[in-house]
Amino acid sequence: MALRDIYADLGVRRVINAATTLTALGGTVLAPEVVDAMVAASRSCVSIDELQGAASRRLAELTRNEDAYVTSGCASAIALSVLAAITKGQPGLIARLPDDESLARNVVIHRAHRIPYDRAIELGGGHLVEVGNVIQTFAWELEAAIDENTAAVFWAAGSHLPQTTLTLNETVAIAHARGVPVIVDAAAQLPPVENLWHFTVECGADAALFSGGKALQGPQASGLMVGSRALLDAVRANASPYQRLARAMKVGKEEICGLVASIERYLALDHDARANDWAKTVDHWVEGLRSVEGIEVRRVALNEAGQPVPRLVIVLQAPVSADEVIGRLWEGTPRVAVLGGMENRIYVTPDTLVDDEADVVLERLKASLVSSGDY
């Protein structure tokens, strides 16, 4: 039986995503193994407690961690980890939220790590306390910020962020000396695959949080939490299916099974070969666009999250506008999404593409850039 074209039925245009794994674009395309797992999971009911338990054991084994847990996205994982740090998973403390301000609810964060997604800390009942500045941070500042009102320290991973904070190892040492857990937001920090255990097993953080719908090509509405059993057990106590504050952050049987399948697949991939294929695609784009006047093209080594995913950068010269080119790509057929950047730049990534989309992207870029050249 032919698959239904649900987008056409709804009158919604498909997008070739050459930008990045943005939630606003639906993340990425699900791997076939993930689709199969989700379909299989949808065909019967199951105890969510039993399924989460089995999935946790499998994911912990795969990622070399003490424990693991599936959430309904990485922002959900942030909120849940903060709830866990505040309540320790104790029913009596859980019942005192959200109103009891006598609980230790402060979450310490480096000022250079302030990102749009840290609002999920507040959703989990935490109060943000900044240390340092975007120029430098000293150990004594973190030490002074941790007191009896501190629930956790939040550390955002990524070489794209200002490298002016304490290292994760330094942060963990200071926090653990005071009995405070460290939570790492690693939402887009894959590849490399080793990050699945680097932040926790190697650096000692209590939890590392990843998006399921980015490099893992799992369900967009899924997240992976790995780390210590103590913190993750406290997460479970606050999470759905229980009627607690995080009940709204429900993760379904399909997402749980889909995420397990995505990580099994991801760990089995030849990551060096994938990186080589991405580099070849970007080089093909560079060669294909060299003859276009009014632009400079080259391959850069890192993506927008500072990870080792090569991408194309196009530097446009006035009067050609990056916004105009981006608009042409978006409004044209097929619709193509790319990232804009400062200094009149456009970034194009190969890792979110499937089938022959790389060639389509090149042709759409040529057409849009030439049209803009006639401005």
Q: Are 88 and 250 in contact (CB under 8 A)?
A: no
Over 90: is that where the pLDDT of 15 sits?
A: yes
Token pair of 225 as six digits: 């939490």
CA gap 69, 318 in Å, rounded: 50
CA gap 214, 247 in Å, rounded: 24
Please report, for residues 6, 16, 54, 114, 352, the alpha-carbon distance to residue 355 in angstroms, rounded to integers and kept in the order given.
Answer: 20, 11, 34, 37, 11
Q: What is the pLDDT of residue 161?
A: 87
Average pLDDT over residues 119-126: 96
Phi (first) and psi of residue 6, to 5 degrees: -65, -35
Q: What is the pLDDT of residue 162?
A: 84
- 94-98, 242-246, 287-291, 296-300: least confident range: 242-246
Phi (first) and psi of residue 97, to 5 degrees: -90, 150
Average pLDDT over residues 193-211: 98
* % the chain with pLDDT above 70: 98
Dmax over CA atoms of the chain, in Å, equals 68
Q: 340, 351, 343: which is closest to 311 by C-alpha?
A: 351
Over 60: is that where the pLDDT of 4 sits?
A: yes
Q: What is the pLDDT of residue 170?
A: 98
Q: Are 166 and 174 in contact (CB under 8 A)?
A: yes
CA gap 239, 71 in Å, rounded: 9
Average pLDDT over residues 354-364: 96
Q: What is the pLDDT of residue 205?
A: 98
Average pLDDT over residues 201-216: 97
DSSP state of 154: E
CA gap 33, 292 in Å, rounded: 40
Instruction: Please state, rounded to an integer, the average pLDDT across all residues of the chain.
Output: 95
Q: Are 254 and 41 in contact (CB under 8 A)?
A: yes
Q: 198, 169, 260, 209: which is closest to 81 by C-alpha?
A: 209
Q: What is the pLDDT of residue 318?
A: 76
Phi (first) and psi of residue 94, to 5 degrees: -60, -40
| CA 173 to chain centroid | 25
**Hey, what domains does the chain have and what are their CATH numbers?**
6-24+270-373 (3.90.1150.180), 31-268 (3.40.640.10)
Confidence of residue 278 (pLDDT cuts 50, 70, 90): very high
Q: What is the pLDDT of residue 2?
A: 62
Q: What is the pLDDT of residue 232?
A: 98
Phi-psi region of 306 (alpha: psi -120 to 50; beta: other; left: phi over 0): left
Torsion angle, CA of 162/167/171/177, rounded to 10 degrees? -160
Q: What is the pLDDT of residue 77?
A: 98
Kindly give the pairing relationship between strand 207-211 and strand 223-227.
antiparallel
Neighbours of 128 (CB within 10 A): 14
Token pair of 68 as six digits: 């693991």
Torsion angle, CA of 322/355/274/60, rounded to 10 degrees? 100
Confidence of residue 317 (pLDDT cuts 50, 70, 90): confident
Over 80: is that where the pLDDT of 288 sits?
A: yes
Neighbours of 331 (CB within 10 A): 11
**Residue at token pair 């927008």:** 304
Give SS3 for 180: coil
Average pLDDT over residues 129-135: 95
CA gap 311, 285 in Å, rounded: 10
Amino acid present at 367: A
Q: What is the pLDDT of residue 320?
A: 80
Q: What is the pLDDT of residue 375?
A: 36
Over 80: is that where the pLDDT of 374 sits?
A: no
